[in-house]
Amino acid sequence: MKKWWTVLLALSLVCCTRPDTPAPAPEPEPDPGSVTPVEPEPTPAPQAKPRYVWIDASANFRYYANDKAYIAKELKQVADCGFTDIVVDVRPTEGTVLWSSDVAPQARRLAAWVGSSYRFIERTATFDYLQAFIDAGHAAGLRVHAAINTFVGGYGGYYGLESEGPIFTGDIPASWASTDYTADGLRSAYYDGVQGTVFLNPANDDVQAYLLSLLKELAVYDVDGIVLDRCRYSDAGLQSDFSEVSHQKFVEYLGHEPAKWPVFEAGVEDVPTAMGDDQYAWLTFRVKTIHDFVERAADAVHGVNPDVHFGVYVGAWYSSYYPSGVNWASPRYQTHKAYPRWANSEYHKYGFADHCDFMLLGCYAASSSIYGTTEWTMQGFCTRARSLLMGDTEFAGGPDVGNPTGWENGGKSAYIPKTVDACINAADGYFVFDLCHIRMFSYWTPFKNAFTNYLNTLTN
């Protein structure tokens, strides 16, 4: 059906043109010799994709803690190698920080492996650690992103080392720790003799306010980006968090008391075969909690500096990532249709990809699983991520070249170019964990050659 104004226009032309009006003379044909040929626009060359390297705080601390000159020297080597971006960890799992903060305590020692011994690396220098990376990184032509371990409050010492972090020193309340429903019953993640990371409860408003204040401090720095790591529930997975705070928040979300609290059995590691409505709702409540924090975090960062890129690191294994309480997909991705075993029809609404300027995906497959189409291949992780993210944000994916099967002992120089090819062509960029492994296994030249080959493909 024609639109009404089209009809009126046609009628006006009929009414206003006299039948005996002569038709206009035709335009003369142009002389071919007088026409200047128009050159076709050249096809723009493909833009090179970013190449990120992660710099873990603890694993690299003995090199950087007290030596600005070493930072500058190595970041120049990173740039010469062909990386474009560094992601420097400035809030390790201890929960202390490596920037000038009025909120959190400074990191003065971090535990790390040095050869065959696990010991503290002491920091005696007073220079601003993050600022040193910004200055050296920018001087080398690198973009610099600051990363924080998010929902952590301290680290329980191993091998006789003392515990470290604000929850142990009283700088933050012990009540902020997650409450896990273990095989021994409800227990705080902060207890005598704890070993490893002490996670905080993501549903606690005070915890979120504390972390947002840290992010606002970071956004004042001249960083190119800020990345959230461990923005999730604790390593206890589905056993976390069953604190009274979470209980009350869940009741508010449901609109009534759940039929059973906690909603899962003690010590549960995976969802039951037959899921009840409250259990589905609990998993959705958890991803909503993380989603809402990511949204607030992005707003907090951009409120201080709208030019800072905000991103999140996640594990790429989406099908089994739900125990962490994280939905990193697009909210348009219909999770419940693909994974009805653990997602209800509300779950997809709390995908947070649309709140990120970029995302880093750990595609941590074995060295023998680089190419492929499925999860637990590096290429497959990236191709599946594109379907999950649905264009809501750009993402870079890539390997851990020091820990998964086949990578532990080095000697994989010939595999580095394959990881670059598999991931950078399937994603919007390349990401590798960690710089300590590149240094340890002398992977500088393999990475430089791989990136050179990649860049050459853009000009051929």
pLDDT in tens, 16-32: 333 333 334 444 444 44
Q: What b/e string do you get for 234-250 counting C-beta neighbours within 10 Å, with b at 16 or more?
A: bbbbbbbbbbebbbebb
* Side chain identity, residue 66: N
- CATH number for 135: 3.20.20.80
- Beta strands per DSSP E along 352-442: 358-362, 394-398, 430-432
Residue-wise pLDDT tens digits, 67-116: 999 999 999 999 999 999 999 999 999 999 999 999 999 999 999 999 99
Domain for residue 190, yes or no?
no
In a domain, 278, yes or no: no
Across the range 369-397, mean pLDDT stands at 98
User: Is residue 224 assigned to a domain?
Assistant: yes
Contacts of 235 (CB under 8 A, 6+ apart): 196, 197, 199
Give strand pairing partners of 313: 360
Q: In the chain, how many H helices and how many E strands? A: 13, 14
Q: Is 101 among the domain residues?
A: yes
Q: How many domains does the chain have?
A: 1
Q: For residues 152 and 40, which has the higher predicted lDDT (pLDDT)? A: 152
What is the reported pLDDT for 242? 98
Interatomic CA distance for residues 413 and 341, integer angstroms: 40
> Is the pLDDT assigned to residue 5 strictly greater than 50?
no
Tell me, what's the pLDDT at 21?
A: 35
Q: What is the structure's pLDDT at 7? A: 33
Alpha-carbon distance of 293 to 235, in angstroms, equals 19
Q: What is the pLDDT of residues 222-254, one digit of tens each?
A: 999 999 999 999 999 999 999 999 999 999 999
Tokens coding 390: 């649905």
pLDDT on residue 44: 65
Q: Tell me, yes or no, whether 316 lies in a domain.
A: yes
Q: Is residue 248 part of a domain?
A: no
pLDDT of 39: 63
How high is the pLDDT of residue 46?
82
The answer to whether residue 148 scores a pLDDT higher than 50 is yes
**Residue 370 predicted with pLDDT over 50:** yes
Predicted pLDDT of residue 384: 98
Pairing of strands 196-199, 152-156: antiparallel
* Confidence at residue 29, expressed as pLDDT on a 0 to 100 scale: 45
Cα-to-chain-centroid distance, residue 456:
28
Overall average pLDDT of the 274-302 stretch:
98
- β-bridge pairing 225-229 and 143-149: parallel
For β-strands 117-122 and 109-114, DSSP reports them as antiparallel
Structure token pair of residue 161: 């080392």
Is the pLDDT confidence value at 133 over 50?
yes
Is 246 a domain residue? no
pLDDT of residue 460: 82
Q: Match 């929902």 to its residue by tokens.
A: 151
Across the chain, mean pLDDT equals: 92
Asked if the structure places residue 198 within a domain, the reply is: no
Say how far apart CA 387 and CA 163 lie, in whole Å: 42
- For residue 363, give its domain range: 47-154+204-233+289-459
Sequence-distant (≥ 6) Cβ neighbours of residue 197 within 8 angstroms: 93, 149, 152, 154, 155, 156, 230, 234, 235
When pLDDT is cut at 50, 70 and 90, the band that residue 37 belongs to is low
Q: The whole model's pTM is what?
A: 0.91
